[in-house]
Amino acid sequence: MSTPSVSSAPPARPGAPRPAPAHEDLLEHLARTTSLGPSEAARVVADVLAYFSESVEEYVRRRHGELQARGLTNERIFERIALELPQRRVRPAELSARQLRRIVYG
């Protein structure tokens, strides 16, 4: 089964990252082991990457809007977000080549 080029899959939401070529094996695995077609698998991966690439600020703003739309008060919203944040994976800070080298070589 061939996997479509990643560039053929539209991002799940505006600004969502496209799965990198490094994710080709994941796309093939999803298409092989689920009922998802190759383009659907690419959209799911793109959506998951977008979800986990939000900064803390982006996450807090989005969750506040979602919870506010459900009728929660700010007091309840901020309590809930404070409980959610430690469980959340957030986008790491962008690192320069120098910073990457320092991580590897000290």
**Is residue 15 within 8 Å of 46, Cβ to Cβ?**
no
Per-residue pLDDT of the chain (106 residues; tens, 9 = 90+): 443 333 333 344 555 556 566 688 888 899 899 999 988 998 999 898 888 888 888 889 999 999 999 999 999 999 999 988 888 876 667 778 888 778 788 8
Domain range annotation of the chain? 6-52, 56-93
Q: What integer pLDDT is reported at residue 64 of this predicted model?
A: 94
Reported pTM: 0.56
Alpha-carbon span 72 to 60, nearest angstrom? 14
Convert the pLDDT of each residue in 58-85 to its tens digit: 889 999 999 999 999 999 999 999 988 8
**Whole-number pLDDT of residue 20:** 62
Looking at residue 11, its pLDDT comes to 42
CB neighbours (10 Å) of residue 66?
Answer: 11
CB 49 within 8 A of CB 17: yes
